[in-house]
Amino acid sequence: MSINLLKNQLAVAIFSMATDKSNIKLRLKHAYNNCKLVFDAYVGYELAISDWKGIKLSLKSHGPVKDSKGNELISSVENTVDYLSEDECVKIAERLVELYKRLNGPVHDNQ
């Protein structure tokens, strides 16, 4: 998988966070969903994967909500973001922007 695909997905997510009129929690959930499949499938650039894993951990820390039979009612990301303050959501969004900047550094432009 090309690092350009990672850059493009992250750019789409960041653009959406910057232009969407919904609240930051919804924008952050959307950005995560925009990126997760691409980043989870990528096995290349370790620093990006490490940063992504940290972002994922921040967005899944509360775990899913399950019913008495163990069926998932609310995903880990949905549940965790509901607990986060707007400031915490903004900090995670800023980490996505920093990841994008790192992927666009001079070392990675030709990959």
Q: Report the alpha-carbon distance of residue 42 to residue 99 in Å, rounded.
A: 14
Give per-residue pLDDT as tens, 59-89.
Answer: 999 999 999 999 999 999 999 999 999 999 9
Q: What are the boundaries of each domain within the chain?
A: 3-103
Three-class DSSP category at 51: helix
Mean pLDDT over each residue of the chain, to the nearest integer: 84
What is the value of pTM for the model shown? Answer: 0.77
